[in-house]
Amino acid sequence: MINTRSTNNPAKTPKERSISDVIPLYFSVYLVLHKDITEGKYPDGVALPSEQELAKRFGVSRVTIRRTMLLLGEADMIVRQRGRGTFANPSAIKKTESSNFSGLTENIKAFEEETSVRILEYAPAEPPEWVLTAAGSENAGPMLKIVRVRSTASQSFSYSVCYVPYPEANLLSVESLSNRTIMALLEAEGAIAKHVDQRLTAVAATPEIAGLLGINVGEPLVTVRRLVRDSSNRLIEAIQVFYRPDSFEYQVSLSREATLGEAPRWVSSSTA
């Protein structure tokens, strides 16, 4: 492993906090149920648990569950059938949440200028299964693995593991990375991102990540998996970022759209 840049202000361990301190309970439940639905836990014909059962599972009130179900409905993830229950929308199963990334690229320059990066690993490696599945057979084999910790002037706030396939990986170098985002550097070298799929969920901090981010083992982290593709739909970057929840904000904007002959529906545009 290599170190090319470090912060002069190591992070201090904050007081113990819950994921509900920074993410509303109903949204935390939404993340879990969204993941369950997209991964096919509730196949066609299998109803989701009742509000009472879900409240017991997550240790929350039924009011919280109702808000969660409302959000799932607005995201077109569920279908309610009177007298039968609530079911996963078949079109949502195995569907990865897509994000409008116009804001993502617009904020990269400011993000780079206000943060610093420490590179922990920069070497070819076999990617994990979720990356191989996204890459397809044309990108089989080792990819460039980049592990980094990103910090502000006061604390480390994210731990990222990125995989870049070859030949796109040949556009990168340790020296050129500095504190730049991988997406920005690839675009500067001509590998232009045209589509981004992004999935967000909450996980517990492992000993390694907890130590690097200055938090306690088991504390909640927000994690984002992002798949970046070019105009030919070729995967050019796969990255998973683990954020301290006190340094992460997730926004969902809903707009009501209607087409001829169809009922109005809510369409989401999410930014992280």
Is residue 138's pLDDT more than 80? no
Those residues with Cβ within 8 angstroms of residue 44's Cβ, 6 or more apart along the chain or in another chain: 87, 88, 90, 93
Looking at every residue in the chain, the average pLDDT score rounds to 78
Percentage of residues of the chain with pLDDT beyond 70: 74
Is residue 51 classed as helix, strand or coil in its secondary structure? Answer: helix
Is residue 227 classed as helix, strand or coil in its secondary structure? Answer: strand
Domain 102-252: give its CATH architecture: 3-Layer(aba) Sandwich (3.40)
Indicate the CATH number for domain 23-93. 1.10.10.10
Q: What is the pTM of this model?
A: 0.58
* Predicted pLDDT of residue 253: 56
For the stretch 160-184, pLDDT in tens is: 999 999 999 999 999 888 788 898 8
Domains of the chain, by residue range, sit at 23-93, 102-252
* Predicted pLDDT of residue 269: 45
Residue in 205, 208, 200 with CA at minimum distance from that of residue 221: 205
